[in-house]
Amino acid sequence: MLRTSLHEIETSEELKKLQEENENLMVCCGRMGPMCIPVYDIMEELEEEYPHVKFAVMAFDNPEAAIIRNDPACRGFMGLPFTMYYKNGKTVKATTSIQNRQQITSILNEYFQK
């Protein structure tokens, strides 16, 4: 279990449901480690600024996270976290490793315009 204030996804079915119910969805799949925590913190800050985006996390070591780990967009990824951006249920962007606020907001602004 991840210790963030973000919605934590526990099953692949829950992820699919969130994809269906939210036009814009950002999911960070990681651990409570030095590369992941900064991304979670940024996501927590952005929740208020991007009310049209659903932000969620998923524990990388959860067997149910295979739905993200095995996504073709993540092929070749080496570092945590794996961050997925879904638009209308489809993967539009995926990143690996630590991201700063500017990198994240650039993606949000490109794919999830208001």
Pairing state of beta strands 24-30 and 82-87? antiparallel
Helix axes 37-49, 101-111, angle to 10 degrees: 50
CATH of the domain at 77: 3.40.30.10
Count of beta carbons in the 10 Å neighbourhood of residue 30:
25
Task: Examine residue 2 and state whether it is found in any structural domain, yes or no.
Answer: no
* pLDDT at 114 exceeding the cut of 80: no
pLDDT tens string 52-69: 999 999 999 999 999 999
| pLDDT value of position 113 | 87
- Find out whether 65 and 58 touch, Cβ atoms under 8 Å: yes
Average pLDDT of 86-97? 98
| pLDDT value of position 1 | 83
- Find out whether 96 and 77 touch, Cβ atoms under 8 Å: yes
Residue 84: domain span: 7-111
Tell me if the pTM is above 0.95.
yes
